[in-house]
């Protein structure tokens, strides 16, 4: 299993340069590194001084690079879908549609990029995958996809099964599905190999994103006020998506805008701040050596922790105040809105079914009492 690193920040702060330096530094330490970029412009090849394509290419010892081209990823995913269809459907109907003729729909880029990283991770060929994406809310929503989709799956399945409509049509759906699908012996529509496989993948994805030893993000900013504001906003949004932020990387540290270390230290405490030097031509050494120890991301505040003794849930939401956070509990889970994102909290079994009795916002934490 690989560590997935990504970098968040305003455009123009040097995220791609930082991602390349991080990949080079980790590769120089003997780690097997894949730099996966959504940047399809020639700029990536120019920065690397090597040609890159939609297939991983080794550009130096231990370092491979791939451009995540949506058209190529769509063809690969469609072929996999047709393979599964042939395995589980008695009469496949997607076989007459070819991946080469499919158009790209909004949202496919990030969904296919996430699936590609899942496959690269599962290959066992890499110790670290450095993901150079958009570095904004789109990246965070992409990483939060397993948790969001798993919520839709378990919530709507439960609602359907317990509804009068579900109880009425289920006896008719079972034999109908059995005539179309290669169903297992249980006859349970929701207990089939494809359903179980998808559920397991979602659970593995959720567990990976929640573990800073598997997935971690770092903020990248210049001392400019707008870049700092965006970084702080993305910090809170990352926590809301369940992604741990391990630190702040400050580019252009010699700006004329006062003492950035002092000001940023107050705004981003308790995150460690790393000042990065400018890159000089093709010399990456100075920037590489200034990279943090990415293995220390686990020391950063976690997005959520549970105190079972006090029956409290602590959500770390830096960058927001209590007016920007909304808590509701319409169903069996707790819903939190912040940073234009909505997160459903699945309570541990020991606290499952309890109602919220109180909540307060303190020192960047939303503390929920049950």
Model pLDDT for residues 162-184, shown as the tens digit of each residue: 777 666 655 655 554 554 455 55
Task: Quote the pLDDT of residue 39.
Answer: 87
Query: Of 189, 204, 219, at which residue does a domain stop?
Result: 204
Domain shared by 264 and 334, yes or no? no
User: To the nearest whole number, what is the mean pLDDT of the chain?
Assistant: 83
pLDDT band for position 256 (cuts 50, 70, 90): very low
Examine residue 287 and state whether it is found in any structural domain, yes or no: yes
Examine residue 87 and state whether it is found in any structural domain, yes or no: no
What is the C-alpha R_g of the chain? 23
Examine residue 245 and state whether it is found in any structural domain, yes or no: yes
Contact at 8 Å (CB) between 19 and 13?
no
Contact at 8 Å (CB) between 228 and 257?
no
Q: Does 288 or 78 have the greater pLDDT score?
A: 288
Q: Which two tokens stand for residue 271?
A: 């995150």
Nearest to 218 by CA among 257, 248, 181, 192: 248
Domain shared by 210 and 313, yes or no? no
Q: Is the pLDDT at 56 greater than 90, yes or no?
A: yes
Examine residue 109 and state whether it is found in any structural domain, yes or no: yes
Domain shared by 10 and 120, yes or no? yes
Q: Which domain holds residue 65?
A: 3-75+100-146+206-299
Domain shared by 248 and 113, yes or no? yes
Domain shared by 136 and 234, yes or no? yes
Percent above pLDDT 90 for the chain: 38
Nearest to 317 by CA among 235, 249, 245, 244: 235
Please tell me the least confidently modeled range out of 143-152, 155-164, 191-200, 291-300.
191-200
Q: Give the CATH number of the domain where residue 258 resides.
A: 3.40.50.300
| Candidate ranges 47-56, 148-157, 279-288, 330-339; pick with highest mean pLDDT | 47-56
Q: How far apart are CA 104 and CA 111, in angstroms?
A: 11
Q: Does 137 or 88 have the greater pLDDT score?
A: 137
For 266, how many CA atoms within 13 A lie in the half-sphere containing its CB?
4
Domain shared by 57 and 108, yes or no? yes
Domain shared by 225 and 275, yes or no? yes
Q: Does 251 or 97 have the greater pLDDT score?
A: 251
Domain shared by 53 and 115, yes or no? yes
The dihedral through the CA atoms of 366, 199, 82, 66 has a sign that is positive
Please tell me the least confidently modeled range out of 199-203, 285-289, 330-334.
199-203
Domain shared by 248 and 129, yes or no? yes
Q: How far apart are CA 172 and CA 31, in angstroms?
A: 54
Examine residue 90 and state whether it is found in any structural domain, yes or no: no
Whole-prediction pTM value?
A: 0.85
Examine residue 283 and state whether it is found in any structural domain, yes or no: yes
Q: Using CB atoms within 10 Å of the CB of residue 175, give its burial: 0 to 12 exposed, 13 to 18 middle, 19+ buried.
A: exposed
Total domains in the chain come to 3
Q: Is the pLDDT at 78 greater than 70, yes or no?
A: yes
3-class state of residue 62 by DSSP: coil
Task: Quote the pLDDT of residue 174.
Answer: 56
Q: Are strands 3-8 and 365-369 parallel, antiparallel or unpaired?
A: unpaired
pLDDT band for position 364 (cuts 50, 70, 90): confident
Residue-wise pLDDT for 13-34, tens only, equals: 999 999 999 999 999 999 999 9
């Amino acid at each position: 299993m690989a560590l997935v690193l990504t970098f968040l920040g305003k455009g123009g702060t040097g995220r791609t340069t930082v991602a390349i330096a991080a990949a080079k530094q980790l590769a120089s330490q003997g780690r097997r590194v894949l730099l996966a970029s959504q940047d399809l412009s020639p700029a990536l090849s120019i920065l690397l001084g090597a040609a890159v394509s939609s297939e991983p290419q080794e550009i130096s010892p231990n370092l491979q690079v791939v451009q995540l081209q949506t058209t190529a990823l769509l063809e690969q995913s469609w072929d996999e879908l047709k393979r599964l269809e042939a395995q589980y459907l008695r009469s496949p109907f997607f076989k007459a549609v070819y991946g080469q003729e499919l158009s790209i729909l909004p949202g496919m880029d990030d969904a296919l990029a996430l699936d590609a990283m899942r496959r690269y991770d599962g290959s066992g060929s890499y110790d670290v995958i450095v993901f150079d994406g958009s570095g904004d809310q789109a990246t965070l929503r992409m990483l939060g996809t397993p948790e969001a989709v798993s919520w839709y799956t378990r919530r709507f399945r439960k609602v359907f099964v317990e509804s009068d409509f579900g109880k009425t049509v289920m006896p008719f759906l079972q034999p109908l599905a059995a005539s179309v699908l290669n169903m297992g012996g249980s006859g349970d529509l929701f207990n089939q190999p494809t359903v179980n496989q998808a559920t397991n993948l979602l659970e593995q994805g959720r567990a990976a994103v929640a573990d800073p030893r598997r997935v971690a993000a770092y903020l990248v900013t210049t001392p400019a006020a707008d870049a700092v504001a965006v970084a702080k906003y993305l910090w809170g949004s990352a926590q809301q998506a369940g992604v741990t932020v391990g630190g702040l990387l400050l580019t252009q540290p010699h700006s004329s805008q006062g003492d950035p270390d002092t000001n940023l230290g107050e705004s981003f405490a308790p995150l460690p701040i790393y000042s990065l030097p400018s890159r000089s031509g093709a010399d990456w050494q100075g920037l590489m050596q200034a990279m943090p120890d990415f293995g220390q991301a686990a020391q950063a505040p976690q997005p959520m922790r549970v105190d079972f003794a006090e029956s409290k849930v602590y959500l770390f939401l830096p960058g927001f105040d209590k007016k920007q956070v909304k808590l509701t509990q319409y169903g069996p889970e707790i819903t939190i809105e912040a940073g234009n994102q909505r997160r459903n909290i699945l309570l541990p079994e020991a606290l499952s079914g309890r109602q919220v009795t109180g909540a307060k916002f303190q020192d960047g934490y939303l503390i929920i009492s049950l």
